Chain A
Amino acid sequence: ETGVTQSPTHLIKTRGQQVTLRCSSQSGHNTVSWYQQALGQGPQFIFQYYREEENGRGNFPPRFSGLQFPNYSSELNVNALELDDSALYLCASSSPIGQDYGYTFGSGTRLTVV
């Protein structure tokens, strides 16, 4: 079975621009979560999608938005990029939804905002 695939692996954007990060979930997984991990810190939960609907959100502003597609792949969009948005963005998938199942994480997208 394939794991979680994220693209691109690295990205450099200018402050004020918009960015779209992509995630293909593990085969058979219908739940996708996104995390932001600053250098030296643990991952911070952004939001989760289940059956194409957002069903949970962390403490991130509305300029962080997402989508989940019928094939369970997902996108994370960030508008009006700020320097503090520079981080590793992680996607994780699981199935079925619930606390008795582990997540499979991708290797992340390293975003640098200059």
Chain B
Amino acid sequence: DAKTTQPNSMESNEEEPVHLPCNHSTISGTDYIHWYRQLPSQGPEYVIHGLTSNVNNRMASLAIAEDRKSSTLILHRATLRDAAVYYCILRGPLSTGGFKTIFGAGTRLFVKA
């Protein structure tokens, strides 16, 4: 299974943008990049996903490197409610067992008021 590497923790100031990096050097051409976040005492929450092109939604933006070996989740204006553990995962097609959705340890984001 393709692995992802993320920093253990990051810190941001409230109202400032946050860029959360993820390395996935062994990504295959059919793997989608997904991001989830987990707030304390809750299950993970879907944030965004993409394949090759950058993606935007109401929660965040996803910037994918041209070689797809890394990606960055962008929170445009961090709020205290964004303090969570952020997981970057890869999901491949069923034929390669991609449905397993392997989670790493994630990045714990601290937001300072």
Binding site for B on A (CB under 8 A): 4, 33, 35, 41-45, 48, 55-56, 58, 90, 92, 97-100, 102-108
State whether B100 touches A56 (Cβ < 8 A): yes
Once the chains are docked, how many angstroms separate the CA of A34 from the CA of B51? 25
State the interface size on chain B (CB cutoff 8 A).
29
State whether B31 touches A105 (Cβ < 8 A): no
Once the chains are docked, how many angstroms separate the CA of A3 from the CA of B100? 21
Once the chains are docked, how many angstroms separate the CA of A97 from the CA of B100? 12
Q: How many A-B residue pairs have CB under 8 A?
A: 66
Once the chains are docked, how many angstroms separate the CA of A2 from the CA of B4? 31
Complex contacts, B101 vs chain A, CB 8 Å: 33, 45, 103
State whether A42 touches B103 (Cβ < 8 A): yes
Complex contacts, A4 vs chain B, CB 8 Å: 43
State whether A100 touches B102 (Cβ < 8 A): no
A100 and B97 contact, Cβ closer than 8 Å, known pairs A45-B102, A90-B44, A108-B43: no
Return the contact of B49 from the options A41, A56, A100, A105 (Cβ within 8 A): A100
State whether B92 touches A99 (Cβ < 8 A): yes
Contact with A along B75-107 (1 / 0, CB 8 A): 000000000010100011110011111111110
Can you sample 22 A-B contacts with CB below 8 Å? A33-B99, A33-B101, A41-B105, A44-B103, A45-B102, A45-B103, A48-B100, A90-B44, A92-B44, A98-B94, A99-B30, A99-B31, A99-B91, A99-B92, A99-B94, A99-B98, A100-B49, A102-B34, A102-B46, A103-B101, A105-B46, A107-B41
